[in-house]
Structure 1
Amino acid sequence: MPRRTATMLASTLILIALLCAGVLIRVPYSEMSPGPTVNTLGDARGEPVLHISGRKTYPTSGNLNMTTVRVTGADYDMNIVEAVYGWLAHDSVIVPHDTLYPDGKTEEESTQENAEEFSQSQESAKVAALEELKIPVTSRVVVSTVVKDSAAEGALHAGDVIKAVDGTAVGKPEDVAKLVTKHEPGEDVVFTVIPAKTAAAAEKAGKEPKGSRDVTLTTRKAPEDPSNPSEDRAIVGIQAGTDHTFPFEIDIKLADVGGPSAGLMFSLGIIDKLTPGNLTGGEFVAGTGTIDDDGKVGPIGGINMKLVGARDAGARYFLTPDDNCTAAASDTPSGLTLVKVKTLDDAKKSLEKIQAGDTAGLPACSTG
């Protein structure tokens, strides 16, 4: 066999061997890529994303699109070839598997957590939007969950309204933890609560719940914190949350979406439907960001993939959480203008500028 032919054959066999190895060898990475965008002012699968009843609404136009990111599943074994291709591609990001599924979390567990975060983001979006419009919302601190085999099990129940701890009124969920941790483990703490059934019946009747009772619990020592092993923190085994009563019905319907990052866009969609005129001026605006009850916008993951998805869908402007601005500005798709937002009010004012054509005054993101 001629030397040249032998060399080519050997090179081909080595290349085939390397490709086979690349396909067979698995690496601990996952892929993120742009997901679909959904107009919160429009329909999804034949139903309005935002349905409001019991209050006058107004016609809307333009787009206020929430954005998503696709990720590979927890059980997906990526090979070297796929990882290299993902690293080289502009429309995907390769990240360590533990970034998406920390502590060995299964896909089912991750989906459940995302669903819970999505549900909470909807509630906060409603509260923030109505607060921005000066529409009163009734809020109560409640027991969200009770830990199995804890001091609270059997004594407190999910949905119980927490009025006070040790006689001190509570206004926010974090107040509960602060008052409990004033105790040493083994000491008694008194919860003043309205039972969940009583509260639910009152809410159904449109009345303020009454009929509180005191529940005394003996605190226990919290599981040891590796970062502070000497700390003896008292707990009773509950997670406090907030329950809201809205003056009219706001229903958000969007299947197969999870996580908290659509909160800002839901709030803006609600505001647009509840106010005369078009908040976008007919423009195509997309965005992302978590939101809390007070209207503060928080950062999200996968910002660059969301920018690509928004640009591909036709967006001209992208509402960007302040904490994501640097990353977003470092790789902005052409034709897309980033608009920095810290609060819901910031976003609303920026949309009003877009509506008026005053885009030179929009707060911009920068790389520094």
Structure 2
Amino acid sequence: MPRRTATMLASTLMLIALLCAGVLIKVPYAEMSPGPTVNTLGDHDGEPVLQISGHKTYPTSGHLNMTTVRVTSADYKMNLAEAVYGWLSHDNIVVPHDTLYPDGKTEQQSNRENAEEFSQSQESAKVAALKQLKLPVKTQVVVSTVFKDSPAEGKLHAGDVIESVDGRKVTRTSDVAKFVTKRKPGQPVVFTVVPVKEAAAAEKSGKKPSRTEDVRIVTEKAEDSGPDRAVVGIQAGTDHTFPFTIDIKLADVGGPSAGLMFALGIVDKLTPGPLTGGKFVAGTGTIEEDGTVGPIGGVEMKTVGARDKGAEYFLTPKDNCAAAASDVPDGLTLVKVDTIKDAVSSLEKIRKGDTDDLPRCTKS
């Protein structure tokens, strides 16, 4: 066989071997890519994303799009060839598998956590929006979870409203643990609560609850390795009563990162005149009940997805600005936000065309 032919054959066989190895060798990585975007002012799957009843609403225009990131599933085994392609791709990011699914977390567990975070983000968005508009929101501390085989099991129930602990008025979730730990393990503590059924009936009728109950629970020692402290085996949370109905209709989305855009959509529908002036604005960010905007993951993917859909401006959490500004899609302006008030102010500038004064993201 001529040397040139032998060399070409050997090279071809080597290439085939490398390609086979790339397909067969599994690597511990996962991939992130731009996901769908949804206009919070529009419809999704045939119905409005934001549905408000019991309060006057106003016409809106333009876009306030929430953005998402698509990730490979927890049980997906990426091969070497896919990892190399992802590393070379401009629009995708390859990350260690444990970054997305730490501690061996299954996809089912991850989906459940994401669903819980998404639900909480909707609630926080409603509160932040109404506070921005100075509309009343009633907040109360409730029993969120009762742990199995704990002293509170069978005595307290999820949804019970906690009025006081040992006669001390409860106004925030942290009060519950603070008051319980004033007791020593083994000592009793008294919870004054509005039972969940009574609380639900009162909310439905718009009246104050007619009765409370005193529940005596003998504390036990916390099982952690810290100093001895008394616990009863519950997790406290917050529940809100709104002056009118706000429903967010969006399925198959998880995580807390749509909070800011939901809140802005609610503000837009409850105020005269479109916030965006008809412009295409997208964004991301968690939202706290006080209106603080928090950072999210995958911001680089979200800016790409937003620009691909036609966004001109992208509302970016302050702590994500440097990462987002490192590679900005052509034609997209990154607007830095730290609170919902910042976002509303920037949207007003966009609406009026005063874009030179927008707070923009920089690489540092």
TM-score class, shorter: over 0.9
Aligned to 1:188: 188
* 1:175 Cα deviation after fit: 2.1
Provide, for residues 208-259 of structure 1, a one-character-per-residue CA deviation record: whole Å limited to 9, x for no partner: 22412222223333333xxxx4433432221111111111111110111111
* 1:166 Cα deviation after fit: 2.1
Of 328, 335, 357, the match for 2:353: 357
Aligned to 1:108: 108
Cα distance in 2 for residues equivalent to 1:90 and 1:223: 48
Provide, for residues 157-209 of structure 1, a one-character-per-residue CA deviation record: whole Å limited to 9, x for no partner: 00000111222211121222232334443333221111101101111111122
Aligned to 2:123: 123
Structure 1 residues 251-290: aligned runs within 5 Å: 251-290=247-286
Provide structure 2 residue ranges, at least 5 long, that are not aligned to the other structure: none
Normalised TM-score (structure 1): 0.96
Cα distance in 2 for residues equivalent to 1:258 and 1:186: 41
Cα distance in 2 for residues equivalent to 1:297 and 1:207: 34
Whichever residue aligns with residue 139 of structure 2, its letter is S
Aligned to 2:320: 324
CA RMSD of aligned residues (A): 1.2
Cα distance in 2 for residues equivalent to 1:164 and 1:278: 44
* 1:93 Cα deviation after fit: 0.7
Whichever residue aligns with residue 287 of structure 1, its letter is G
Structure 1 residues 210-225: aligned runs within 5 Å: 210-224=210-224
Cα distance in 1 for residues equivalent to 2:21 and 2:274: 57
Secondary structure of the residue aligned to 1:164 is strand
Cα distance in 2 for residues equivalent to 1:173 and 1:139: 11
Cα distance in 2 for residues equivalent to 1:181 and 1:4: 83
Q: Quick one: structure 1 residues 89 and 54, their matched pair in 2 at CA, closer, same or farther if it must change by over 3 Å?
A: same
Aligned to 1:231: 227
- Identity, % of aligned positions: 75
Aligned to 1:309: 305
Whichever residue aligns with residue 133 of structure 1, its letter is L
Secondary structure of the residue aligned to 1:8 is helix
Cα distance in 1 for residues equivalent to 2:52 and 2:293: 23
Cα distance in 2 for residues equivalent to 1:60 and 1:181: 50
* 1:138 Cα deviation after fit: 1.1
Cα distance in 1 for residues equivalent to 2:125 and 2:136: 14
After the TM superposition, which of the residue ranges 304-313 and 175-184 deviates more from structure 2?
175-184
Whichever residue aligns with residue 141 of structure 1, its letter is V
Contact 1:199 1:210 in 2 (8 A): no
Provide structure 1 residue ranges, at least 5 long, that are not aligned to the other structure: none
Whichever residue aligns with residue 354 of structure 2, its letter is D
Normalised TM-score (structure 2): 0.97
Structure 1 residues 22-37: aligned runs within 5 Å: 22-37=22-37
Contact 1:59 1:273 in 2 (8 A): yes
Aligned to 2:202: 202
Q: Quick one: structure 1 residues 183 and 327, their matched pair in 2 at CA, closer, same or farther if it must change by over 3 Å?
A: farther
* 1:358 Cα deviation after fit: 0.8
Structure 1 residues 35-184: aligned runs within 5 Å: 35-184=35-184
* 1:18 Cα deviation after fit: 1.6
Cα distance in 2 for residues equivalent to 1:33 and 1:231: 45
* 1:360 Cα deviation after fit: 1.0
* 1:46 Cα deviation after fit: 0.9
Q: Quick one: structure 1 residues 323 and 181, their matched pair in 2 at CA, closer, same or farther if it must change by over 3 Å?
A: farther
